[in-house]
Structure 1
Amino acid sequence: MQVILSTYGSRGDVQPLAALALRLRAHGARVTVCAPPDGEFEALGVPAVAVGESVRALVTGPRPAPSELPRRAAVLAAQFRTAVSELAGPEDVVIATGLFPTVAGARAAAERAGARFHAVALQPCMLPSPYHRPFEYPMLPYPPEVTDAQRLWDLNISTMNALFGEAVNTVRTSIGLPAVDNVRDHAYGERPWLATDPVLGPWRQPAPLAVEQTGAWLLDDERPLPEGLSEFLDAGEAPVYVGYGSMPLQGAPEAAEVAVAAVRAHGRRLVLAQGWAGLAGVDGAGDCFLVGEVNQQALFPRCAAVIHHGGAGTTTAAGLAGAPQVVVPQIADQPYWARRVADLGIGAAHDGPAATTDSLAAALDHALAAPTRERARQVAPMIRTDGAERAARLVLDGPR
């Protein structure tokens, strides 16, 4: 049996599959990954097939017109169907996450090969539930008068069909599979997996969909901190981390200035992560340490607070570290994680994606307050760290 892992997206879509791949290999399983060329699986010793364009190049390049989405979806679905088809046989298992067209393409390949298939959501708001809203595609907004979550999920079927139906069904019919009327529910299936922590991102019951929640798939990070950072941390009070991950942040220079000013308003030093937006220090002062890629598992426990965009991975890393958070959500699932941080009392949810110095300083004031810091410390040990192992056992023990 071979396990074929499939994903397309930024670091938050890639790292969980890397964690699962390593756990499967530790159990003696044969694993191959289909992922974007900047997935970096080879460095972990995991065989990988590069599929599609560099995600970083796409995110940081010119923003495509909304009308381009169906065409890009069709290309991705076909690319992942082809890549998985070249690997999968009837004795194999295909596990897919990432952008929706790639999940649907991987599913078509698995179905054609007779392989076992599992779709994985990396956030609860990807799966229909009466307890949370689907995220909204700007080009197809939901009617403002509709606020009921279940009604919105019903409308989401039409939205997903309009955006991705032609791409998905073209891929299916090209290999002799029948077209489907509801591409969303077909791609995810009746029992999708949810790779989020049950405390941070719970699957609430009762719900019509049978979801297998494993816990988050965490990749152990053994990288040393960048040169000079340990000395910076030792030289004074715990700093505030600021980083927006893979978000391009069209107003990046202003975002850096706002963050530095908001943190300084609290008399704190800061660690500023450049991210894909290329954030940079504003004046070269010694209270700001600039980093690129950094080991969050080593850094966050030494931070007074973490200001970030609300990606699932960063939210979980800060939660595990017991660091209070300020989430400035930008797109997709990030408003969900911002609400979860606020609801759990482990930080603050900024109102909207564009922060000002005053609004960010106010949110940071809440995060640094003693009750929030204490609550963050209380929640940290509740977060599971065995999600990838639990998922590996599901793969190896067979369907339930």
Structure 2
Amino acid sequence: MRITVITFGTEGDTRPIIALCHGLQAKGHQVTLLVERTALNLAQSWKVRAQALSGDMLASLQAQGVLSPLMKKGGDATQLSKALAKIASENTAAWMQVLVEQAQGSDLILYSGLAAYVGLSVADYLRIPAIGLGLWPMSPTREFPSPLLPPWHLTGWLNYISHLAINGLLWRLFRKTLNQARQQVCGQAPRYKMWRDYPILYGVSPHLVPTPHDWLPVWKLCGNWQLPLSSGWQAPSALQDFLATGEPPIYVGFGSMAGFDQQRLLNIVVEATQGKRVVFLAGWSGIRAEQLPKHFFMVNNIPHDWLFPKMSLIIHHGGAGTTHAAARAGIPEIILPFAGDQFFWAGRLADLGISPEYIASQKITAESLATHIQFAQQANVQAKAKTLGLLMEQEDGIQAAIQQIETWMIKPMLLQ
């Protein structure tokens, strides 16, 4: 099949999509990926044909960016939705134009992230089947609240309403700009009703989030989508030497988070980890090696699947990819969430007993983080994490997704 894929988001949002594209290509499918520009190098390193979309996610997260206030002070689902809608509104027409051009002659459109409504619109316009890709379970259910809300323990009907409310809010915020682009690029009539019941594949482990009993058959949890280790890849010798010289260290990293009070959070982590060895991944944070104490070892772009099994504890921001990688490694986690679905993952891990009850990154203190570290080092917590890791090791999320795509495409009219 010829497949066009569109997504826009942080590195953590795009890496799993690149992994799925790589898997599709390995099965003989022809894939074109439209993606945020900072992900181009990663896509091309895996020989995935990719083209940059307009927009700059890193700039949106940095000091003057639209997402920066959420990084510094936190915020609710409404504030996050408005910020995301602003990013999309500046680029919707350009994304739609590129997708119309690239998807000509395609058999299938896969869409994800902030470009989801663009993908659905272009699929309608070109009369091409379309399948959504998600990294957290946004389809309505009575079993848990919307992942963009705090992980409240609500009754069934309130959980269901929370999904409808958040998904409806996103639609209302995106709708005006989307309809302008539909008219401008495709000559389409405005769309006033949100799409419903369309097929979505989630790169989510059913061991982290069991499949809801009230989901439609077109909503599937496949398992995590991760890239394999590159053949011949070797860790830097300095890192290997550091790991060999003592007890397994603690990993600390904040992924694609930027624009927060980095010195405050770094000071808290340094104080809470006194006497312990730390591997620190700067990511997009802007934290430099010279800011780190001697018991920290700074790394860049080390595959989680190689690094995490060698750690004693994973402290991170709660992105879906990092959460899955740590859980698959069988290592306890402490999540310091900033925004969005990170609170959902923190709640899931606490429910599973492999992480303490979370405290938001904006509210954490050195004392509370030190207490969390003590919790995570308990033998029963480590045993639960190991058991979960063994279960997740058996998953092959990419092959499950590919098999479902190929099955659905036997009768593609069911996807239109």
TM-score by length of 1: 0.89
Amino acid at match of 1:375: K
Alignment match of 2:90 (pick from 34, 51, 75): 75
For these two proteins, the number of residue pairs brought into alignment is: 385
Amino acid at match of 1:371: N
Alignment match of 1:313 (pick from 297, 301, 321): 321
Answering whether residue 131 of structure 2 is matched by residue 118 of structure 1, we say yes
Q: What is the rounded CA distance, in whole Å, between the counterparts of 2:181 and 2:188 in structure 1?
A: 9
> RMSD value over aligned CA atoms?
2.4
1:242-391 superposed matches below 5 A = 242-248=252-258, 250-264=260-274, 267-280=275-288, 285-354=293-362, 355-383=364-392, 384-391=394-401
Which digits, 9 at most, give the CA deviation of each residue in 1:281-314, with x for residues without a partner? Answer: 6775432111222221111111110000110100
Amino acid at match of 1:318: A
Change (3 A) 1:63 1:108: same
Q: What is the rounded CA distance, in whole Å, between the counterparts of 1:368 and 1:112 in structure 2?
A: 54
Change (3 A) 1:336 1:68: closer
TM-score by length of 2: 0.86
Give the Å deviation of 1:250. 1.6
Give the Å deviation of 1:6. 1.1
Amino acid at match of 2:264: E
Give the Å deviation of 1:315. 0.6
Q: Is the 8 A contact 1:273 1:279 kept in 2?
A: no
| 2:273 partner SS | helix
Give the Å deviation of 1:135. 5.0
| 2:315 partner SS | strand
Q: Which moved more, 1:56-65 or 1:359-368?
A: 56-65
Aligned to 2:113: 98
Give the Å deviation of 1:15. 1.1
Q: Is the 8 A contact 1:325 1:347 kept in 2?
A: yes
Alignment match of 1:217 (pick from 220, 225, 229): 225
Q: Is the 8 A contact 1:272 1:281 kept in 2?
A: no
Uncovered stretches (5+) of structure 2, i.e. residues with no partner: 68-78, 151-156
Give the Å deviation of 1:364. 1.1
Q: What is the rounded CA distance, in whole Å, between the counterparts of 1:133 and 1:123 in structure 2?
A: 12
Give the Å deviation of 1:249. 5.0
Aligned to 1:205: 213
Aligned to 2:75: none
1:5-20 superposed matches below 5 A = 5-20=5-20
Aligned to 1:47: 49
Q: Is the 8 A contact 1:256 1:281 kept in 2?
A: no
Amino acid at match of 1:131: E
Q: What is the rounded CA distance, in whole Å, between the counterparts of 1:290 and 1:311 in structure 2?
A: 20
Amino acid at match of 1:376: A
Q: What is the rounded CA distance, in whole Å, between the counterparts of 2:222 and 2:376 in structure 1?
A: 29
Q: What is the rounded CA distance, in whole Å, between the counterparts of 1:116 and 1:334 in structure 2?
A: 31
Q: Is the 8 A contact 1:241 1:271 kept in 2?
A: yes
Q: Which moved more, 1:239-248 or 1:197-206?
A: 197-206
Which digits, 9 at most, give the CA deviation of each residue in 1:199-220, with x for residues without a partner? Answer: 1133311236741221111111
Uncovered stretches (5+) of structure 1, i.e. residues with no partner: 139-146
Answering whether residue 94 of structure 2 is matched by residue 64 of structure 1, we say no
Q: What is the rounded CA distance, in whole Å, between the counterparts of 1:70 and 1:46 in structure 2?
A: 28
| 1:376 partner SS | helix
| 2:280 partner SS | strand
Give the Å deviation of 1:60. 2.2
| 1:148 partner SS | helix
Aligned to 1:142: none
Alignment match of 1:88 (pick from 87, 91, 103): 103
- Give the structure, 1 or 2, with the largest relative contact order (CA under 8 Å, sep 6 or more): 2
Q: What is the rounded CA distance, in whole Å, between the counterparts of 1:255 and 1:61 in structure 2?
A: 16
Which digits, 9 at most, give the CA deviation of each residue in 1:64-110, with x for residues without a partner? Answer: 387776553223322221111112235511101112xx111122112
Change (3 A) 1:135 1:296: closer
| 1:347 partner SS | coil
| 1:127 partner SS | coil
Change (3 A) 1:75 1:158: same
Q: What is the rounded CA distance, in whole Å, between the counterparts of 1:36 and 1:225 in structure 2?
A: 27
Change (3 A) 1:167 1:202: farther
